[in-house]
Amino acid sequence: MDRRVVGLSSHEIDSFEGMVEYFQQSDFEIVVDEQQQAVEIPTHIGGQNTRTVLVWDPRGEVLRVIQPLLETTPKTEDASVFEAIARVNHVITLGAFGYDIIQGMVYFRWAVPRNNNRLTASQITAAVNTVLFSCRDFLPALGQVMRGELASAEVLSQVQMKT
């Protein structure tokens, strides 16, 4: 997602349907999962096309922003990936990386509290950009661990934090 595409707006969104409508007006090719109250939007990380999932959590007043990483991990690398994720999560201020052990997939997630069940469009844009920036900074090193090219103990030495 790019601020130039969606723009910063004070438009208030107070429902899953409102979030869907907002992204439809932005001319994104979105995928809507009404049962999960989720919207997938096209995004970019480090020149790669990706998809970010936004879930309007009906159980609590949060918007979950989830960025699955592109690669899957061979089962032989599970322990290394767990350790690398633990090391990375230790230095991250907000959000966290997770690991879907069934699919062998690393993802980043961040929960954004909704104030009186509302978020502004600018808050959603900022949340997605924050997730993408975190992924951009840590993705290359985590990918190396996932492929067995980097020891998990070295993951932080390979992180290039961008501003």
The predicted pLDDT at position 70 comes to 66
Per-residue pLDDT band for 9 (boundaries 50, 70, 90) equals: low
The number of residues making up the chain comes to 163
* Cα first-last separation, the chain: 17
Round to whole Å and give the CA distance between 40 and 29: 9
Predicted confidence (pLDDT) per residue in 104-148, tens digit: 889 999 999 998 889 998 999 899 998 998 888 888 888 889 888
Average pLDDT over residues 8-16: 80
For the cut 50, the answer to whether the pLDDT of residue 163 exceeds it is no
Q: How many CB atoms within 10 Å of residue 32? A: 16
The predicted pLDDT at position 160 comes to 64
The predicted pLDDT at position 93 comes to 85
10-158 to CATH, choices 3.40.50.300, 3.30.1460.70, 3.30.450.80, 3.40.50.920: 3.30.1460.70
Round to whole Å and give the CA distance between 42 and 38: 13
Task: Provide the pairing of β-strand 119-120 with 12-13.
Answer: antiparallel
Stated as kind and residue range, the H or E segment containing 69 is strand 62-72
Round to whole Å and give the CA distance between 147 and 81: 10
Round to whole Å and give the CA distance between 133 and 110: 12
CB-side neighbour CA atoms (13 Å) of 22:
26
The predicted pLDDT at position 107 comes to 93
The predicted pLDDT at position 20 comes to 93
Per-residue pLDDT band for 1 (boundaries 50, 70, 90) equals: very low
Per-residue pLDDT band for 153 (boundaries 50, 70, 90) equals: very high
The predicted pLDDT at position 31 comes to 95
Q: Tokens 């429902």: give the residue.
A: 15
Predicted confidence (pLDDT) per residue in 33-89, tens digit: 999 999 999 988 878 888 999 999 988 789 999 999 867 777 777 889 999 999 999
